Chain A
Amino acid sequence: MLTVRELPPAEFSRLAHLPIGQARVLDPTQVVVLVVEDDGEIVATWAAFSVVHVDGLWIDPASRQRIGVTRRVVEGMRAALTARQVAEVVTITTAPEVATLAQKVGGTRIPGDLWCIRPSFEGGPLCLLPSRS
């Protein structure tokens, strides 16, 4: 019989041999793991955790050529993130200049796509992200 439940941190050791246990550090203060069990055997897992996104970079066209503006924005964002002890972020972009910026600050392309959902199953506008960030 299948059961679905949130796995208590005390049982996280049961995940060690599964893909989730090998893919990331399972810090119980940072991640929640749901499991499906079939007579006690874990047959499915799904995790939820926080990620910081940096998005929506916009500079007025008239100011884009101002010397050093981009560098100062990058430095400002780095300072804001460091002050919050954020060590890693992701960003998504459709703008080539932002992709170039991401690479210049050491970003690496993730070979995949970002998907979004509203967990409440409600209708309405979905998952707004700026189109040129």
Chain B
Amino acid sequence: MSLPMPLVVRELPAEEWHRLTGVGHFADPTFPIPSPASAAILAVEEPDGTIVGYWWAFTSVHVEPLWIAEAHRHRTGLVRRLWRAMGELLGRSGVSHAYAIIAQAEAPTIVSQATRLGFQRVPGDLYFIRVGSDADGPGTPAG
């Protein structure tokens, strides 16, 4: 019986990101490879270099929280003016996408406004993680 050779886990240099084409999510040609300017990609490789896994981190811009004083919440055009100013600000900074977390408690009032402005809900459950934290116990060496 022979044991499998250990997998290599390493941060993939930007000049190698093209190797992700056709792998995993990137088998879908409409799925963009992240920009090296705002992302880092970790690759899992077989000893022969075949990519068998990856995970990436990217910096994004969040636009939140939106707050409007109670007395002004029904003022026509206020949110749209604020969004136009925000859109211009982000556009000047070269931001192509922006995100917002809408808390469940705010959803009844915010979601309809967000939808009208063009926000789309991203499916899935959100988690906040402190990088230094680790609730996991000692692990098994990689095989």
Contact = CB atoms under 8 A, between A and B. Distances in A.
Interface of A: 2, 4-6, 18-20, 23, 32, 34, 36, 38, 42-60, 62-63, 66-69, 71-78, 80-82, 84, 86-94, 99, 102-121, 125-131, 133
B14 interface: no
B87 A120 contact: yes
B96 interface: yes
A99 B68 CA distance: 34
Given A43-B71, A69-B44, A104-B136, A128 B127 contact: no
B124 A126 contact: no
A112 B90 contact: no
10 contacts: A47-B63, A48-B61, A57-B55, A71-B139, A77-B42, A106-B133, A107-B128, A115-B99, A117-B117, A119-B95
Nearest to B137: A104
A45 to B, nearest CB: 5
Interface string B105-143: 111000000100111111111111111111110011111
Given A44-B82, A55-B56, A92 B97 contact: no
A88 B62 CA distance: 14
Interface in B68-122: 68-69, 71-72, 75, 78, 81-83, 85-87, 89-91, 95-107, 114, 117-122
Contacts of A125: 30
B17 to A, nearest CB: 13
Contacts, number: 313
Interface of B: 4, 7, 9-11, 23-25, 30-32, 40, 42, 44, 52-69, 71-72, 75, 78, 81-83, 85-87, 89-91, 95-107, 114, 117-136, 139-143
Given A66-B7, A110-B126, A50 B55 contact: no
Contact of B126 (A6, A72, A91, A131): A91
Contacts of B134: 78, 105-106
Contact of B124 (A19, A52, A87, A94): A94
A119 B63 CA distance: 10
The residue in B9, B69, B90, B127 that gathers the most chain A C-beta atoms within 10 A of its C-beta is B127
A94 B123 contact: yes
Contacts of A106: 129-130, 133-135
B141 A51 contact: no
A12 to B, nearest CB: 15
